[in-house]
Amino acid sequence: MKQVALLTGNKGKLQEFRHELASIGVEVSQLTAEIEEIQADTLQEVVRHCLHQADAQRLGDVVLDDSGLFVETLNGFPGVYSAYAQKTLGCEGLLRLLDGRADRNARFDSCIGASIDGVHIVVTGTIHGTIATAMKGEGGFGFDPVFIPEEKNITFAQMEMGEKNAISHRGRAIRLLLAELEARGFKS
């Protein structure tokens, strides 16, 4: 069985990656390493920088994810600063920023980078939706309790993991990664 290490401190991301990559026989372990997450304009820049650091540290086959919630009426905020905004403002703070605003359109992007057998792969998955007017649900993590994906009437936090992964930004990015690995002849 092929093994990859997910560079994250986020247990929610680890569960999602394990769930999806198990389908092709890839075992995902968690790895915490001293990887500097630069401040950049795009998720892709952050991910590429982290992959180069992982290679320099000879961490082996690794996968990492940088995700962001981009709220239209807030000019894309929190975007690449989503992890910081989640820690400092939380879902409640985001809801306060949108209080009284009619435009609640948003999107979640997930940029996944992988260094597998010395080859770098970078893919991005996106899901459009809206920000709820109140937190709903107990599942998920991050901004999941306030994000309602397109064509749904419940938040990510109200969904079971399999249902969320089937439509989410990260689930889409993971499937793009799997397609890239398959196209490159990767076998578990």
Catalytic residue among 65, 66, 109, 144: 66
Least confident among 40-54, 82-96, 148-162, 170-184 = 170-184
Which CATH architecture is the domain 2-183 placed in?
A: Alpha-Beta Complex (3.90)
In the prediction, which pLDDT does 34 show? 85
The tens digit of pLDDT for each residue in 115-152 reads: 988 889 999 999 999 999 999 999 888 999 999 999 99
In the prediction, which pLDDT does 186 show? 67
The tens digit of pLDDT for each residue in 22-56 reads: 877 788 999 988 888 788 999 999 999 999 999 99
Average pLDDT, the chain: 91
Number of C-beta neighbours around residue 3 at 10 A: 12
Element (H, E) at 177: helix 169-183
In the prediction, which pLDDT does 12 show? 83
Domain ranges of the chain: 2-183
In the prediction, which pLDDT does 42 show? 95
pLDDT of 185 over the 80 cut: no
Rounded CA gap, 47 and 119, in Å?
14
The verdict on whether 144 is a catalytic residue reads no
Rounded CA gap, 176 and 23, in Å?
14
